[in-house]
Structure 1
Amino acid sequence: MSTHNLDTLYRQVIMDHYKNPRNLGQLSDDTLTVNLNNPTCGDRVQIQMKIEDGQVETAKFEGEGCSISMASASMMTQAVKGLKVNEALKMSKIFSDMMLGKEYDEDLFDLGDIEALQGVAKFPARIKCATLAWKAMEQGLNEQEK
């Protein structure tokens, strides 16, 4: 597949998650809640997760911002459901490495739609948009483990 076709496909995946976000909303039960914002561009996100027996049972998000930040939040909440806390944190590290253009172990997790965000690494100003929800998830899980 040509680079142009791959870029188009990735754009379509990002726009699908932006226009049809997965896991949008709030959890009502006892949840872990983290709010973060990116003052540089105005993106803001609230991540809520229900953690049981060291596993992310479910995750939801609310927020407002650019297509990249909201699509990334949608993808992240899908990806971490069912993972052990330590696995979710490892996935977040892999995502961060991918955003920074670093090598990462592609065999550790099936990133699925998340790979569509790889192109963001070419635009350093947009990396914070893509990582906002992931940083919120990391912050919450790290605080919860203490």
Structure 2
Amino acid sequence: MLDELYQEVILDHYRSPHGKGLREPFEGETHHVNPTCGDEITLRVHLDGDTVADVSYDSVGCSISQASASVLYDLVNGKSVDQAMFALDEFSRLMTGKGETEPDEDVLEDAVAFAGVSKFPARVKCALLSWMAFKDAAIRAGAKTTAEATSGEAND
């Protein structure tokens, strides 16, 4: 029954994606491709200080990659860079857990629906595509986590 609920969450995000469409302004943009299945995403990040003011994207691909981009938007848009990167780390941990990792629902919200995807290595790349694009675009936009900003270890 829980698997059915999770499948419905993924299908809802696929059918009615949140945040889709490229918008301006933005400081970082990237284009990622999953050559295994042909999923593609162009993703933009707009920062306002240490806040992810907007994430916009245009993508094509399977329901998992499309839904994952929608969930990413919900989880990082309007959050601090630190919160967004923490969500990315938690989602990555879930995806690499091979179905053995217990997701933190408080952090991941709808992204917990992807727990079953982690059992299928070929689909993990689909789910992670937008998240890796977000990380790349955030770095291009000059995002620094609190740890980087205070330690001076960030590359400019």
| TM-score when normalising by structure 2 | 0.84
Alignment length (residue pairs): 141
CA distance in 2, matches of 1:76, 1:127: 15
Following TM superposition, by how much is the alpha carbon of 1:83 offset from its aligned partner in structure 2, in angstroms? 1.3
Pick from 98, 104, 107: which aligns with 1:106? Answer: 104
Q: Say if 2:77 is the partner of 1:92.
A: no
8 A Cα contact 1:94 1:104, kept in partner: no
Q: Give secondary structure in 2 for the equivalent of 1:40.
A: coil
CA contact (8 A) 1:25 1:60 kept: yes
> 1:125: Cα distance to partner?
0.6
Q: Does 2:111 match 1:118?
A: no
Aligned counterpart for 2:139 among listed residues 115, 138, 142:
142
Show structure 2 runs of 5+ residues with no match.
144-155
Greater Cα shift, 127-136 or 75-84 = 75-84
Query: What is the Cα deviation at residue 43 of structure 1?
Result: 0.3
Give 1:93's aligned amino acid. Answer: D
Match of 1:26 in 2: 22
Question: Shift of residue 105 of structure 1?
Answer: 7.5
Structure 1 unaligned runs (5+)? none
Letter in 1 for 2:111: I
RMSD over aligned Cα, in angstroms? 1.7
TM normalised by structure 1 equals 0.89
The percentage of counterpart residues that share the same residue type is 36
Q: Secondary structure at the match of 1:49?
A: strand
Q: How does 1:1-146 map to 2 (within 5 A)?
A: 5-101=1-97, 103=101, 106=104, 109-143=106-140, 144-145=142-143, 146=156
What letter matches 2:129 in structure 1? L
- DSSP 3-state at the match of 2:46: strand
